[in-house]
Structure 1
């Protein structure tokens, strides 16, 4: 059977992006406004489920069928940890693997980053030790503090912003990370109350897979993660990428592109690429057949001009269609990495880390930037599927 002229159809799609009616142009804005109202989409949360249901409804309205892929994994949650200094409350983040608990004791400012030598110079027995981030892993800092007799440990960030981290193993010591500014407020011998509130247990994640009825073996998979981190509405990270995937499906509906594609919203990305790892593991035949996986993560804020990374041939293809497109080294800790490890050619669309990354201020994403990302992706998909049609 002769393949349809995918190149001609997709070329018309991209050109037509500039003349879409007002209803179509408003779709991206509506997606953003609707989903942001749900709040942070942490995997396992009600907001996460509300967002997933919204996207499923949109895919089905466009004529796609959807299915869910559920999975579980262990997760460590910070339920709101802090350190009280007099009447002042300093918010912090528990390092994954720490024990929970409340400790009221004087502060000891340990000179250095928490090596055994650093602790030998001070007496932290029964006290709250304070060390700087850097040089050695968090796990070693915590173990060294515990061996020295500390009742609690505070790790001060050595750069701007909050400090998210993991010990890697369980340590029976309350460990809290604070910002550089809050760390500077701690004084030697000052009484503090360190309160680390944590929960450990299983969390349920759910991927959404959309496709045209009857399509079971796609050539291209368009993906982005739906979840966000605690406290962050996640407009850019990564509602922008999820909306880009939906907009691609919207543009492709009733065209040959839909007959060659899957559209997937992954869950649990923020907890270690959980959803994409499960998808690759559970769909080996489908994954092995893929000619390309396009991943969209943080494409709604121009922290930097749109750029791509990944398979060198795909990067070259994308830049031929969009000469102004930037590039960055292959790699990146997002869902495309799960596919790259399985040997799939990947193309990662990204606009850099903006100042509100993983912060409560992540509330804005620019619809024009999302649509521009989609335009670029369509041109790259055109070339990929043109090669498929040609039997290359």
Structure 2
């Protein structure tokens, strides 16, 4: 395991929230910083990003399937066309074949929007009374008799797998999870588990109707049937391209990533062809840029299976690369015209080097001088890096659009303006570290001009 103590001490010394940092640049340097930003942002072509999304979203890119293999080959070929030596990291995962039959029957209801399965869910048939189990937390089952019954659970608060395992532990024979927003619910359990019970996903409207019937004292009986689901072993991949320093190296490393896989049945234009396409365009722009810092561009496989690709990447990192890593920039769902504003999420809700760099870049590039906000959220490939003590952040628009993880995540929902916004900010933030004139702090720690930016309690 990596040596986290040294990094923590360095971060504490270099970053002090609420204090004026030693590295804060004078106000008069702003124009100079903007000039350096222009060396990157003026070379970014948003049409390139959009065209990559068009190509990647032609078909779903489920991890371990031919769809992902085609995406990996395309990403590799693009990196190589920019002049990068490219590494493909294969790793073993579980593949999932969707059920051939999913049925849900409840007296007095017509499920016009058909229920869906959860990836890695199990087959089975259950006829039993429904019990409202809230969010499916352990405490929600404490005073509920769900033995042999079907638990009705609302989305939110916990992963789908946790909800189903909590229900199973309490004795439930089946689970129905309903959405907490408009649109269909398409989810994954991350990996197989022999303790799962049969489970289906329904819409918010359907779930609310069932909940209201139960609240009115009605006994509601349901029949849940799943057939043909299969789980097997498969191979997913990460794709890695490294830009080596062109000037005297500071021995620093920056990581820029996105996940290239999608969920079953979804073209994944925004989730996450948008992030992958932005990684590709930034790799093109930086290919010939003068830097004193190494930049590693990565697209991760099997994010939808439980961040498996990023965990694999972290597992393969050398101690040397760990020690010299400045931070990790993760872009996930960065192009939807129907999502909210840009935010930077960290796993602990604290600022770090990456959010400082992002906020400073956002302030420099904004006509109003406003910096990008930050918040607290996991659920993407920045998590494994955070867990080993590396500064990392997720760049995403939140709240996300209602049809993510659905067949409606298509190219017509993509905003070129949002793609340009994120690519500019991440590109300028990375170049703040990588440009040859930036002084490096000891052990690869660097930070930008001081900028005030706020924490936001914003739902993803």
Q: TM-score range by the shorter chain?
A: 0.7 to 0.9
Q: Decide whether aligned partners of structure 1 residues 129 and 41 sit closer, same or farther in structure 2, where only a CA change above 3 A counts.
A: same
Question: Which residue among 286, 296, 304 is the counterpart of 1:270?
Answer: 304
**Are 1:253 and 2:293 matched, yes or no?**
no
2:239 corresponds to = 208
Q: Under a length normalisation based on structure 2, what TM-score does the superposition of the two structures give? A: 0.69
User: Partner of 2:341: helix, strand, or coil?
Assistant: coil
2:326 corresponds to = 291
Asked if 1 retains the 8 angstrom alpha-carbon contact of 2:358 and 2:425, the reply is yes
1:171 corresponds to = 195
2:103 corresponds to = 83
Asked if 2 retains the 8 angstrom alpha-carbon contact of 1:83 and 1:89, the reply is no
Per the TM alignment, residue 221 of structure 1 is displaced from its structure 2 partner at its CA by 1.4
**Are 1:101 and 2:101 matched, yes or no?**
no
1:140 corresponds to = 166
Answer with 222-231 or 251-260: which moved more: 251-260
Answer with 230-239 or 361-370: which moved more: 361-370
Partners in 1 of 2:287 and 2:362 — Cα distance? 23
Partners in 2 of 1:60 and 1:111 — Cα distance? 54
2:386 corresponds to = 340
Q: Decide whether aligned partners of structure 1 residues 82 and 180 sit closer, same or farther in structure 2, where only a CA change above 3 A counts.
A: farther
Per the TM alignment, residue 180 of structure 1 is displaced from its structure 2 partner at its CA by 3.8
Asked if 1 retains the 8 angstrom alpha-carbon contact of 2:64 and 2:93, the reply is no
Count of aligned pairs: 369
Q: Deviations over 1:172-214 (max 9, x none)?
A: 7433343343444799576746224422222311000112479
User: Partner of 2:225: helix, strand, or coil?
Assistant: strand
Partners in 1 of 2:392 and 2:78 — Cα distance? 26
Q: Which runs of 5 or more structure 2 residues have no equivalent in the other structure?
A: 1-31, 135-139, 364-369, 442-460
Per the TM alignment, residue 268 of structure 1 is displaced from its structure 2 partner at its CA by 0.9
**Are 1:69 and 2:92 matched, yes or no?**
no
Partners in 1 of 2:274 and 2:121 — Cα distance? 33
Per the TM alignment, residue 223 of structure 1 is displaced from its structure 2 partner at its CA by 0.7
Q: Which runs of 5 or more structure 1 residues have no equivalent in the other structure?
A: 1-5, 147-151
Question: Which residue among 59, 67, 72 is the counterpart of 1:47?
Answer: 67
Answer with 378-387 or 79-88: which moved more: 79-88
Write 1 or 2 for the structure with the bigger share of strand: 1
Q: Decide whether aligned partners of structure 1 residues 332 and 51 sit closer, same or farther in structure 2, where only a CA change above 3 A counts.
A: same
Report 1:1-392 matches (<5 A).
10-14=36-40, 16-17=42-43, 24=45, 26-37=47-58, 39-74=59-94, 78-79=98-99, 82-85=102-105, 91-94=114-117, 99-102=122-125, 105=127, 107-110=128-131, 115=141, 118-119=144-145, 129=150, 131-133=152-154, 137-145=163-171, 152-157=173-178, 159-160=180-181, 161-162=184-185, 164=187, 166=189, 169-171=193-195, 173-183=197-207, 184=209, 192=223, 194-212=225-243, 219-257=253-291, 260-284=294-318, 285-302=320-337, 303-310=339-346, 311-323=351-363, 324-352=370-398, 353-363=400-410, 364-386=413-435, 389-392=438-441
Q: Decide whether aligned partners of structure 1 residues 235 and 140 sit closer, same or farther in structure 2, where only a CA change above 3 A counts.
A: same
Partners in 2 of 1:89 and 1:102 — Cα distance? 21
Asked if 1 retains the 8 angstrom alpha-carbon contact of 2:362 and 2:425, the reply is yes
User: Partner of 2:408: helix, strand, or coil?
Assistant: coil
Asked if 1 retains the 8 angstrom alpha-carbon contact of 2:268 and 2:405, the reply is yes
Answer with 243-252 or 301-310: which moved more: 301-310
Partners in 2 of 1:193 and 1:330 — Cα distance? 36
Asked if 2 retains the 8 angstrom alpha-carbon contact of 1:76 and 1:200, the reply is yes
Per the TM alignment, residue 30 of structure 1 is displaced from its structure 2 partner at its CA by 1.8
Q: Deviations over 1:350-387 (max 9, x none)?
A: 11211122121111322332122111112211222358
Per the TM alignment, residue 49 of structure 1 is displaced from its structure 2 partner at its CA by 1.2
CA-based RMSD of the aligned residues comes to: 3.6
Q: Deviations over 1:295-324 (max 9, x none)?
A: 111110252222223443332332223223
Per the TM alignment, residue 16 of structure 1 is displaced from its structure 2 partner at its CA by 2.4
Q: Decide whether aligned partners of structure 1 residues 45 and 9 sit closer, same or farther in structure 2, where only a CA change above 3 A counts.
A: farther
Asked if 2 retains the 8 angstrom alpha-carbon contact of 1:156 and 1:180, the reply is no
Partners in 1 of 2:177 and 2:354 — Cα distance? 41
User: Partner of 1:328: helix, strand, or coil?
Assistant: strand
User: Partner of 1:281: helix, strand, or coil?
Assistant: helix
Per the TM alignment, residue 94 of structure 1 is displaced from its structure 2 partner at its CA by 4.0
Q: Decide whether aligned partners of structure 1 residues 290 and 129 sit closer, same or farther in structure 2, where only a CA change above 3 A counts.
A: closer
